[in-house]
Amino acid sequence: MSRYYNGPKSDHFDGERFFDPQGVPPRSRRDLLRWHIDRRWRAPKAKWPVWAPSPYADRPPARVEGATWRISYVGHASMLIQTAGLNILLDPVWSKRVSPFRFVGPKRVNDPGIVFADLPSIDVVLVSHGHYDHLDLTTLSRLAAVHRPRVVTPLGNDTIMKNHDPTIAAEAYDWEDRVNIGAGVVATLVATRHWSARNLSDRNMSLWASFVIEAPGGRIYFVADSGYGDGRHFRGACERHGPFRLAILPIGAYEPRWFMRDSHMNPAESVQAFIDCGAELALGHHYGTFQLTDEPIDAPLVALADALKDVGISTERFRTLRPGEVWAL
């Protein structure tokens, strides 16, 4: 059994595994087998293009001072936020695959929106949880070697990182911990409806979280992965940590719903989460780079446009970007 964390029991840790007291357990291996059988015989997954390049490529400035935010979309859940003189990476993945194996598993269909060598000096990395499409050990080692950033992550993920590379400067925190990351910017880890695993023996041995980033330009609510459930996590984040200027919300990797609904939102649920958390603006992510689930590559963008139209929210308030595209606020 892979143990990454030892600590006192709490309302979301039973002494061995973490859990969401407001959620449900992750799907079983039997459910996983059913999904793969369905893919083969009943509901085959959509075929993505082998390569779907973005027309954009970003070369960020060294720093962005003051209250301005410059957000560069790297791809999937990875992005660079520049503000208050800090360079902050979210869930950085520059690897070609998100898998425990080098030659098998979901493969990129477009390049990262920033060439790794063009990154400015990275101060802080926020890593939300241990799934391979969010915690990329190869990328974290590259960042440690070149930039030496602080890596802020939920409990147990620090052990995963340091077991791979002791030079990764990982710091582990619990839900509701506030972390001063410099220049008046604070990151708070908050509960989210998800789970974790790196192999078959370590399910929920490390914690998962969303982040609230308090900066001079306002508060950002970064949700890396989450099911919607009854929406209480999003309403609770607003009540405890709002108001938010921007919510960064996942909109992809959601089919089939019977399997994915408890851990990944579809676009309509993401729009409802946007409403629930009370943010002024939203940015979608978690689509168009790695095929993790069964929907077509363009389905999240089409469904998001429909969901926004249904509730009368402008697409200028809930934006999406291609890798390498930039949003300056």
Q: What is the DSSP string of 203-267?
A: TTSS---EEEEEETTEEEEE--S---TTSHHHHHHHHHH---SEEEEE-----SHHHHTTT---H
The answer for residues whose C-beta is within 8 angstroms of residue 182's C-beta and 6 or more apart is 86, 123, 124
Q: Is 39 part of a structural domain of the chain?
A: no
CA dihedral 24, 28, 30, 35 (to 10 degrees): 70
Contact criterion met (CB below 8 Å) for 214 and 244: no
- Alpha helices, H only, the chain: 29-41, 137-146, 157-164, 232-241, 257-260, 267-277, 299-311
Question: Could you tell me the end-to-end alpha-carbon distance of the chain, in angstroms, rounded to an integer?
Answer: 46
The CA-atom distances, in angstroms, between 170 and each of 86, 163, 196, 197 are 18, 11, 18, 18
278 is a domain residue? yes
Q: By the 8 A CB rule, do 246 and 221 touch?
A: yes
d(CA 310, CA 313) in angstroms, rounded, equals: 8
pTM of the model: 0.97
3-state class (DSSP) for residue 167: coil
State residue 42's pLDDT score.
77
Tell me if 79 is assigned to some domain.
yes
329 residues of the chain, pLDDT tens digit each = 578 999 999 999 999 999 999 888 889 889 888 988 888 777 789 999 999 999 999 999 999 999 999 999 999 999 999 999 999 999 999 999 999 998 999 999 999 999 999 999 999 999 999 999 999 999 999 999 999 999 999 999 999 999 999 999 999 999 999 999 999 999 999 999 999 999 989 999 999 999 999 999 999 999 999 999 999 999 999 999 999 999 999 999 999 999 999 999 999 999 999 999 999 999 999 999 999 999 999 999 999 999 999 999 999 999 999 999 999 99
What domain range is 109 assigned to? 56-328
Asked if residue 71 is part of any domain, the answer here is yes
Would you state the pLDDT for residue 44? 86
11 within domain boundaries: no
Which pLDDT belongs to residue 35?
87
| DSSP conformation class of 64 | -
Model pLDDT, residue 36? 84
> CA dihedral in degrees (160, 99, 43, 265; nearest 10)?
40
> Is 88 inside any structural domain?
yes
* Count: domains in the chain: 1
CATH code of residue 232: 3.60.15.10
* 1 occurs within a structural domain: no
DSSP 13: B
162: CB partners within 8 A, 6+ apart:
168, 170
Model pLDDT, residue 1: 56
Judge whether 8 lies within some domain.
Answer: no
